[in-house]
Amino acid sequence: MEEARIVRIEEFGELEVLTASYHRYSFAAHCHPEVVIAVTEGGHATFRYRGAFHSATRDAVFVHHPGEPHSGGPDGTDGWAYRCLYIPEDLFKRLTDSTSLPFFGDNVFDDPILADMVRRFYLSLQASCTRLRRESYLIEALAWLRGHHGERRLPASGSREPLSVSRAREFLHANLAEDVSAGALARAAGLSSYHLIRIFRKEVGLTPHAYQLSIRIGRAKDLLRGGTPVAEVALQTGFYDQAHFTKVFKSQVGVTPGRYASPGLP
């Protein structure tokens, strides 16, 4: 049975928590603007990240950097159950008293202590608990993650993205809801369509179309949090109908737009 629910923790700004149990469902390739920290509670998952396949079993903690593509889901008949935190980059830096994110060269950690720290924060959201205690739990988990697994260096591609790819990204953001052609995107980047498609995927990890879908879903989440009806969100973010929007949204977020707009308890 597939089950997923997502909640926003208002006292932490835009921090979100996803709790999910999947048996057949897998995520399409996508990226998030937040730091993703997840703990596997049962089963086995396989996912693709930074061009390689990774596995996560019970107590494994995995981390995805903001903007880095990933995909995956359960591997085998036991399914996959996990809890996931989506932490805005500014919140991560503020809670760890730092000016930059650490780089996680490895992104799957066999660290039962960290797994328990993340669980403790998650369980505090369900219990009668003071804000100070909850914040302390989250700070302790992030400090442990940074101190034991973070590296003081940037990813290999950091700050070296070709200008043409940056221009293409900017064009897609500026025309988020438009039916952008490959030719128009290539002209904005200053390359041929053939060259742009190849270099964009090499540098970003997603095709321009997949990247366009990811930023559309990011904008859709903002609109849904603000109370915009699902049908209107679909139109404002460039999807040709609500059914298509719902399919893409769930493939990246793990829940439907309606479920995301009306979250329950963690």
200: domain CATH number is: 1.10.10.60
Q: Is residue 248 part of a domain?
A: yes
Domain that holds residue 192: 163-261
- In this predicted structure, the answer to whether residue 223 has a pLDDT above a threshold of 80 is yes
- Tell me the CA distances in angstroms from 53 to 46, 187, 199, 206, 259, one per residue in order: 7, 35, 22, 16, 30
Please indicate, yes or no, whether residues 203 and 226 belong to a single structural domain of this protein. Answer: yes
* Candidate from 18-27, 111-120, 148-157 with smallest mean pLDDT: 148-157
Name the domain count of the chain. 2
pLDDT for the residue 24: 87
- In this predicted structure, the answer to whether residue 157 has a pLDDT above a threshold of 80 is no
Please indicate, yes or no, whether residues 235 and 134 belong to a single structural domain of this protein. Answer: no
Q: Is residue 155 part of a domain?
A: no
pLDDT tens, position by position, 82-129 = 999 999 999 999 998 888 899 998 889 999 999 999 999 999 988 778
- In this predicted structure, the answer to whether residue 158 has a pLDDT above a threshold of 50 is no
Please indicate, yes or no, whether residues 134 and 87 belong to a single structural domain of this protein. Answer: yes
Please indicate, yes or no, whether residues 74 and 168 belong to a single structural domain of this protein. Answer: no
Please indicate, yes or no, whether residues 131 and 8 belong to a single structural domain of this protein. Answer: yes
Please indicate, yes or no, whether residues 109 and 178 belong to a single structural domain of this protein. Answer: no
Please indicate, yes or no, whether residues 104 and 181 belong to a single structural domain of this protein. Answer: no
Please indicate, yes or no, whether residues 198 and 89 belong to a single structural domain of this protein. Answer: no
Q: Provide the whole-model pTM.
A: 0.82
